[in-house]
Amino acid sequence: MANMAHWLLTTGIMQIILAYLATAGFGVLLNIPRRAVNLSGWVGAAGWFTYEVLYQLLPSTIDVKLAIGNLVAAIVIGVCSGLAAHYKHMPMIIFNIPSLVPLVPGGQSYRVVRNLVTGHPDIAYQYLTQVVIIAGVIAIGFLIAEFINRLAWHFTHA
């Protein structure tokens, strides 16, 4: 547990800052309203930090860590996006899309193509499996988050 505390104080803080900057920067590129950029950055940072903490804590294989970490992170992003949208009186998608950027499996996708081109289809298949798993659990996580948001709306407005 001391190892986790050290990780949080060193790498964890840096991960939060970089995820915030990536999300806010992508929000600017997508031309979301200026008043949503800061909150969008924090939603993305919360999702990425959730993923990183789970990835560090789960004592399992890489595929299971990727699946569970991305699933829970997508749920966190979806729920936080719903809260941010309600707070800012804006559509939820303004917060969802930029916040997904840290979770997108771009590195694995690149490795799939690189290994296919260099003649290593077995390694490419391993990375392709990871890409499909990550994309699938992000979609499932958003579905779960939407269910949670609607359930919360139902109980607060019923």
pLDDT tens column, 75-132: 999 999 999 999 999 999 999 999 999 999 999 999 999 999 999 999 999 999 999 9
Is the pLDDT higher at 3 or at 147?
147
- Determine the pLDDT at residue 62: 79
Say which residues have a Cβ less than 8 Å from residue 128's Cβ, sequence separation at least 6.
Answer: 108, 112
pTM for the model: 0.90
Q: Kindly state the average pLDDT of the residues 22-27.
A: 96
Q: Compute CA distances 78 → 89, 135, 155, whole Å.
A: 16, 15, 18
Confidence of residue 2 (pLDDT cuts 50, 70, 90): low
- CA–CA separation, 27 and 133 (whole Å): 25
